[in-house]
């Protein structure tokens, strides 16, 4: 029996003990899983600064799915499958974020802070579109977006419920998007 078979049997034994309620075995199991998870994540091309995220997600998945482990099967295969899926999930999530987000080094230098942009300085076309909204939608935009108030603060200022403000904000944004895209097109 080679070293990897011994390690697999040891991890499987720890999992069986953990399934039976042995806290010390569970702690040892999770600690021993970390190097395997890290290796899987690196092998999948996860950036070094995101490997710990894969480790954390994998350990959480192991915790949630520990009852599904079958002692008749290889523990390392079970672990590697979970780690690979969490690594792929992270890479997909990062890919989606990169496709939607733009990184601009100079943005902090050229864009004023929110507190320095009072409601009066909003673009004239946008201001006109906001003014054309129904009262509840206009208030939601002004309070939550332009004045950058929390939902609780905006609810107190307008006398509306947080739920109503959320609905009004959603509707206002949808209306503004439609109006502004028509004007651009």
For 86, list phi and psi in degrees, rounded to 5.
-70, -35
Q: Are 151 and 144 in contact, with CB atoms under 8 Å apart?
A: yes
Task: Confirm if 179 and 168 have CB atoms less than 8 A apart.
Answer: no
Q: How confident is the model at residue 100 (pLDDT cuts 50, 70, 90)?
A: confident
Considering the domain architecture, whether residues 165 and 86 belong to the same structural domain is answered as no
Average pLDDT of the chain, as a whole number: 85
Same-domain pairing of 69 and 113: no
Domain check: are 56 and 38 in the same one? yes
Ordered DSSP codes for 87-123:
HHHHHHHHHHHHHH----TTHHHHS--GGGS-GGGS-
Please check whether residues 9 and 75 belong to one and the same domain. yes
Quick one: 24 and 94 in the same domain?
A: yes
Distance CA 58, CA 32 (A): 13
The mean per-residue pLDDT over the stretch 68-89 comes to: 94
Same domain, 132 and 70: no
pLDDT interval class at 26 (50, 70, 90): very high
Which among 60, 61, 19, 55 has a CA at the least distance from the CA of 40?
A: 55
How far apart CA 83 and CA 40 sit, in angstroms, is: 6
Banded pLDDT at 114 (limits 50, 70, 90)? low
Compute the distance between CA of residue 131 and CA of residue 137 in angstroms, rounded to an integer.
Answer: 10
């Amino acid at each position: 029996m080679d070293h990897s078979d011994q390690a697999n049997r040891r991890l499987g034994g720890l999992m069986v003990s953990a399934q039976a309620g042995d806290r010390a075995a569970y702690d040892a199991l999770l600690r021993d899983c970390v190097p395997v998870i890290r290796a899987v994540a690196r092998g999948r091309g996860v950036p070094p600064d995101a490997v710990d995220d894969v480790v954390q997600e994998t350990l959480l998945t192991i915790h949630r799915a520990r009852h599904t482990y079958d002692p008749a099967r290889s523990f390392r295969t079970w672990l590697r499958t979970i780690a690979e899926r969490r690594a792929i999930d992270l890479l997909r999530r990062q890919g989606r974020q990169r496709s939607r987000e733009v990184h601009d080094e100079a943005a902090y230098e050229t864009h004023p802070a929110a507190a320095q942009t009072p409601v009066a300085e909003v673009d004239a076309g946008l201001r006109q579109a906001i003014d054309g909204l129904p009262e509840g939608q206009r208030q939601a935009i002004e309070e939550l977006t332009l004045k950058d108030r929390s939902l609780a603060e905006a609810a107190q200022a307008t006398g509306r419920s947080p739920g109503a403000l959320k609905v009004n904000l959603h509707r206002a944004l949808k209306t503004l998007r439609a109006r502004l895209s028509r004007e651009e097109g």
